[in-house]
Structure 1
Amino acid sequence: MARISAGIATSHVPAIGAAFDLGKTKDPYWAPVFEGYEFVKEWIKDNTPDVVILVYNDHASSLMMDIVPTFAMGFADEFQSADEGWGRRPVPVVKNHIELAAHIAEQLVIDEFDITLINEMDVDHGCTVPLSLVFGDVEEWPCKVIPFVVNVSQFPTPSGERCWKIGEAIRNAVKTFPEDLDVQVWGTGGMSHQLHGTRAGLINEEFDRRFIDLLAHEPEELKYITRLEYLRETGTEGIELIMWLIMRAALGYGVEEKKRFYRVPASNTAVGHVVYEAKS
């Protein structure tokens, strides 16, 4: 049977991808950010999964305002890096595990989640930046990746509790897949940040650090943070943190925290990152 062995959460700041691609990882501004990922780059060498279910949000790269699914799954064999206005990132093609994706989709529908299946799309920095941070500069990603897209940009966005429930459903679906696969779930986005308006540049370090504290051992408290509270406390884009809850719920209740990292700022965002190994 397939199993979920670990989970990773990380911010997916587009400027991090640019710094990576332009060879600026050792620059004084960026070095402290990239140093926070040295642990996971070594850890992943001994813990490379067969498949990553990568939870992220599209930034109007493939899903424009005319199509805004609440939850969507990439259903193509592979996905190119999106051109977000400055050309495609020079990163490997993301290759899907279509059999597992189909199994998860079927089980989610059985569990009453109306999942959208996307047969053609490009993946933007929300997907590719986490892969670069964890795997580094490689010719091919060393595992298959199932893109799992969550709407956090257009109202109505899903609640934290709904994200928790779909994380649990993903866990149950993976456990019933008959092939022997090592699966990881990654939750991306956040932490607190606001990109526009009168509060542009907002960062709430106290909220972010408490969120990371609770995520490891008291994550159910996070289910009940409302969309309004995210907006008020973490800025317009802080709602991305609900995607971390999908990862956390998919791991079950027992986890061992292997790494915790927090840095302010990277571009105009608070960067957070954790690595968990599942205990059960």
Structure 2
Amino acid sequence: MARVTAGVGCSHVPAIGVAMDTGITEQPYWQPVFEGFKKSREWMKEQKPDVVFLVYNDHCTAFDASCIPTFALGCAAEFKPADEGWGPRPVPVVKNHQKLASHIAQSVILDEFDLTIMNEMEVDHGLTVPMSVMFGQHGVDDEWPTLVIPLAVNVVQYPAPTGNRCYQLGKAIRRAIDSYPEDLNVVVFGTGGMSHQLQYKRAGLINADWDQRFLDLMTEDPKAASQIQHLEYLRETGSEGIEMVMWLVMRGALDEDVTEVHRHYHVPASNTAVGHIILENQT
């Protein structure tokens, strides 16, 4: 049977992708950011996932104000990197495990979670930056070392889903994966965050204490994390801190008791906080 072995929480700061694409990761500003992912890449090489289920948010590339699905599951054969205004990132096309994606769609919808099924979709830095930091730089003529099933979550236009809704969706996704008959090693990514605000009077806000507590909850008490209200995210972590609800989809897909393998936190990277955690199921 397919099995979820681990979860990864990871910021998807677009400037991180730019730093990798332009070869400036060893510059003094960027070196501490990427130093914290060295162990992560070594771990990933040992993990060798067959599939990454990657939860991210679209940044007005695949979706705009005319259509904003709350949860959109990618079921196409492949997903090309999006042009976000300065050309697509020079990274590989994302290849899907379509049979597993279709199985998850059926299972989760029959489990009473409404999904939008995407049979055509481009993916932006929300997906490609976490892939790059976890698997290393790959060019357009390469292939990612794993298949990827994308799940786009609306955290751009309110109302965003609650943390509890995301946590429960993660549990439904876990049930779907557990019931898939092929022997697959699946790692679930929750991306976005941590605290940051990009506009108006609080632009540049970072709340490192709150971020570290959230990382603690990911390991120790995900149920408590799932009960954090939208207002608290907004007040304590800025207007874009709501992205952290996507980490709860990842956490819901794991066992209740997990082992924290690695944690990395750095401020700042392009006026945001970079957060990262790796959690392994104990069974």
> What is the RMSD of the two structures over their aligned residues, measured on CA atoms?
0.6
* CA distance in 1: counterparts of 2:152 and 2:281, whole angstroms: 23
* CA distance in 1: counterparts of 2:228 and 2:281, whole angstroms: 24
Deviation for aligned residue 1:252: 1.6
2:205 maps to 1:202: yes
Matches within 5 A, 1:107-118: 107-118=107-118
Deviation for aligned residue 1:109: 0.7
Query: Matched residue pairs, number?
Result: 280
CA deviation map 1:193-217 (0-9, x unaligned)? 0000110000001100000011101
Secondary structure in 1 matching 2:68 = coil
Deviation for aligned residue 1:127: 0.2
In structure 2, what is the equivalent of residue 82 of structure 1? 82
In structure 2, what is the equivalent of residue 125 of structure 1? 125
Segments of 5+ residues of structure 1 without an aligned counterpart are none
Amino acid at match of 2:27: D
TM-score, normalisation: structure 2: 0.98
Kept in 2: contact 1:55–1:148 (CA 8 A):
yes
Amino acid at match of 2:136: G
Deviation for aligned residue 1:49: 0.5
Segments of 5+ residues of structure 2 without an aligned counterpart are none
Secondary structure in 2 matching 1:180 = coil
* CA distance in 2: counterparts of 1:7 and 1:154, whole angstroms: 26
2:25 maps to 1:25: yes
Deviation for aligned residue 1:56: 0.1
In structure 2, what is the equivalent of residue 100 of structure 1? 100
2:194 maps to 1:191: yes
Kept in 2: contact 1:50–1:144 (CA 8 A):
yes
Matches within 5 A, 1:155-170: 155-170=158-173
Secondary structure in 2 matching 1:82 = coil
Question: Which of 179, 194, 197 is the equivalent residue of 1:176?
Answer: 179
In structure 2, what is the equivalent of residue 241 of structure 1? 244
Deviation for aligned residue 1:70: 0.5
* CA distance in 2: counterparts of 1:278 and 1:235, whole angstroms: 31
2:267 maps to 1:259: no
Amino acid at match of 2:245: I
2:255 maps to 1:274: no
TM-score, normalisation: structure 1: 0.99
Structure 1 residue ranges, 4+ long, deviating more than 4 angstroms after superposition: none
* CA distance in 1: counterparts of 2:175 and 2:242, whole angstroms: 25
CA deviation map 1:81-129 (0-9, x unaligned)? 0000010000001000000000000011111111000111110000000
Matches within 5 A, 1:5-20: 5-20=5-20
Kept in 2: contact 1:168–1:252 (CA 8 A):
no
Secondary structure in 2 matching 1:260 = strand
CA deviation map 1:8-42 (0-9, x unaligned)? 11000000000000001000000000001000111
Percent identical residues: 59
Deviation for aligned residue 1:219: 1.1
